[in-house]
Structure 1
Amino acid sequence: MGRRPLAVLAAGIAVAVALGTAGCTGDGGDGGDARPAAPVAGGAEVLPGPVPSGLALRPAPTDSPAAPKVTGTLTDGSSLAVAELWGDRPVVLTFFTSWCNTCAERQDGFSELSRSYRDRVVFVGVAGEDEPDGLQEYLRQHRVEYPVLVDAGQQIARSYAVREPPAVILVAKGGSLLRGWPGGVDAATLDDALRKLVIAP
């Protein structure tokens, strides 16, 4: 009689294990272990919010040339006209690729700078000649939380006379071209330029 309860218990455990294993195979079709897909980095979800009230900006020099108006596709397939962004605040365009070592060395600084200026100055990445998976890995690794245009055909780069990454372009509110850095720039120098050229004290 003493062995019967142990036999029943062992049988119950075996059934439970079998049911648990069957539930993990995915053949049951209930999707219990399916996880929601992560948002595409650099897509429309990270477009800026409303302009902060009281944002004070320096006027652009009257002799500044107009920045080229470009429209492109974000990493999630959404369309973006950059001129819509600079209609009410300054824009920083950062040209890069995921395989550019200098871009990678400076990206963390840009990512942090974009967060510190959130909604006051819009950062927009322009990625050229990149594979989607490699680009997504780069954006997530460097915590890029601003929109990124995919410039596979280099049309946007040519519009701004960018021959190769990295490069950075600063555009004032209203679309005046303030400054460009062929070969790129570090975050500290860009921060200094933003304070001197666009953000009023």
Structure 2
Amino acid sequence: MKRLLAALLLLVAACSPESPRGGRQALPGPAPAGVSYPDVKGASAPKLTLSLVDGTRVSTEDLWRDRPLVLLFFSSWCGKCAEAQPDFTALAEKHRDAVAFLGVAGRDSDRDLRRYLDEHRVSYPVARDDAEQSAGRAFALREPPLVAVVAKGGALVKGWPGGTNANAVAAELAALFHQR
């Protein structure tokens, strides 16, 4: 009976409306062995400290310290964002730990954001921009989507106001790390 009750509690917890997607469990682990990152010079990307959807504080500087970082600014109501999301999720999963991905959601209710993360099976961490859209403004975001690639160490490599596709991001990443 105790085992049945424990199994039922686990099932209820797994079906909870509180989405675990986008929180600290999605942060990258250590950079994999056998991956090297060239030094890239250029203008520094803006440093941000944000709260993930589960309240965990994260710094872009910490994320790009050991690997490149892809920033994806989006909103749940953005059709272009939703259209590109499956490909970005696949790209993040393909490069798991070798490249950090961070979504930054702006102007979303908690409910709409959770629904978006679940519907699109977002596998990387997601932070919320503040009411003033400070993170978006730091990257000159006018309206989502915006994608930015930052090299290991913080050099801004490329940004796409208005978004881009995952293939364009993958092409930029190809020059930023090498797997042996």
Q: TM-score, normalising length from structure 1?
A: 0.79
Supply the distance in 1 between the matched residues of 2:8 and 2:89 (Cα, whole angstroms). 33
In structure 2, the residue matched to 1:83 is 61
In structure 2, the residue matched to 1:7 is none
Letter in 1 for 2:163: G
Measured after TM superposition, the shift of residue 152 of structure 1 is 3.4
Contact residue 68 and residue 160 of structure 1 kept, 8 A: yes
Contact residue 76 and residue 82 of structure 2 kept, 8 A: yes
Structure 2 counterpart SS, 1:76: coil
User: Is there any run of 5+ residues in structure 1 with no aligned partner, and where?
Assistant: 1-29
In structure 2, the residue matched to 1:156 is 135
Contact residue 26 and residue 124 of structure 2 kept, 8 A: yes
Structure 1 counterpart SS, 2:108: coil
Structure 2 counterpart SS, 1:124: strand
| Bigger relative contact order, structure 1 or 2 (CA pairs below 8 A, ≥6 apart) | 2
In structure 1, the residue matched to 2:144 is 165
Q: Identify the match of residue 154 of structure 2 among 175, 178, 184.
A: 175
Letter in 1 for 2:105: A
Structure 1 counterpart SS, 2:35: coil
Contact residue 127 and residue 152 of structure 1 kept, 8 A: no
Letter in 2 for 1:90: P
In structure 2, the residue matched to 1:143 is 121
Measured after TM superposition, the shift of residue 192 of structure 1 is 1.2
Structure 2 counterpart SS, 1:102: helix
Measured after TM superposition, the shift of residue 166 of structure 1 is 0.3
Deviations 1:10-63 (A, max 9, x none): xxxxxxxxxxxxxxxxxxxx9995511465210111111111012122321x3x
Q: Identify the match of residue 56 of structure 1 among 10, 13, 36.
A: 36
Aligned residue pairs total: 169
Matched, 1:43 2:26: no
Matched, 1:184 2:163: yes
Letter in 2 for 1:144: V
In structure 2, the residue matched to 1:25 is none
Structure 1: which 4+ aligned runs deviate by more than 4 Å?
30-34
Note closer, same or farther for the CA distance 1:192–1:32 as it changes in structure 2 (3 Å cut): closer
Supply the distance in 2 between the matched residues of 1:67 and 1:109 (Cα, whole angstroms). 24
Q: TM-score, normalising length from structure 2?
A: 0.88
Note closer, same or farther for the CA distance 1:32–1:125 as it changes in structure 2 (3 Å cut): closer
Note closer, same or farther for the CA distance 1:152–1:32 as it changes in structure 2 (3 Å cut): same
Matched, 1:101 2:79: yes
Judging by fraction of residues, say which structure has more strand.
2
Structure 2 counterpart SS, 1:92: strand
Letter in 1 for 2:120: H
User: Is there any run of 5+ residues in structure 2 with no aligned partner, and where?
Assistant: none
Contact residue 130 and residue 152 of structure 1 kept, 8 A: no
